[in-house]
A and B are shown apart, each in its own frame.
Chain A
Amino acid sequence: EAQVTQNPRYLITVTGKKLTVTCSQNMNHEYMSWYRQDPGLGLRQIYYSMNVEVTDKGDVPEGYKVSRKEKRNFPLILESPSPNQTSLYFCASSLRRTGFNNTEAFFGQGTRLTVV
């Protein structure tokens, strides 16, 4: 089954404790991205990757890091989480960059992160 898998689904952590949210897709997609979703603001892009070893900042990259060592994996790293990073996070992938050639974006199930 074609899917984007995020782990963990839920995470509560303390300020400053480094954490990683994993994202894996099994569709051989080139393009992957991370979003955060906050009430009333809609989805905002954090980072994206056009292909292996190619990553770039989205609209709200501060406080986050990513890596793309393999095509299927795109982990999101919070080196020193803060309470304002409490949010619902989604990983997404598409064959190419969403919109180019109108390829569909597949989203993961989400990770609800709480930083206390």
Chain B
Amino acid sequence: KNQVEQSPQSLIILEGKNCTLQCNYTVSPFSNLRWYKQDTGRGPVSLTIMTFSENTKSNGRYTATLDADTKQSSLHITASQLSDSASYICVVRGGGGFKTIFGAGTRLFVKA
């Protein structure tokens, strides 16, 4: 079954600290993996997208990695800011018919 699982479910960190969010998937065949940031009450906004041949992609303080062999991805946030408080959603495209499969998200709280 094509699934995307994210961990942890929620995370609290202090402002200025780094953190890493995890995404494991069982989607096959694989097309691409995207990380979205979703602020409370707003629509998701794309942070990074990676295809099979890419193993790292950065967007400012956000760095995503992809290991297509182990079917794992991570999103690393450097020097967190209060505005990083949001849900981070891992989305994998693939499977039969090239479906778009969403993870349930990780809720990040950055405290002052």
Q: Fill in one digit per residue for B88-112: 1 if any A CB lies within 8 Å of its CB, else 0.
A: 0100011000111011110000000
Roughly how many angstroms separate A44 CA and B89 CA in the complex, as a whole number? Answer: 13
With a cutoff of 8 Å between Cβ atoms, the chain B residues found around residue A107 in the complex are 43-45
Please tell me if the beta carbons of A42 and B46 are within 8 angstroms of each other in the complex. no
Roughly how many angstroms separate A45 CA and B45 CA in the complex, as a whole number? Answer: 17
B32 sits at the interface (CB 8 A): yes
Tell which of A11-19, A66-74, A93-101 binds the partner: A93-101
Q: How many residues of A contact B (CB 8 A)?
A: 23
Interface residues on B, range: 20 to 34
A81 sits at the interface (CB 8 A): no
With a cutoff of 8 Å between Cβ atoms, the chain B residues found around residue A59 in the complex are 99
A4 sits at the interface (CB 8 A): yes
Q: Give the residue of B42, B89, B100, B102 whose beta carbon is less than 8 angstroms from that of A99.
A: B100
Given contacts A102-B49, A109-B42, contact A42 B93 (CB under 8 A): no
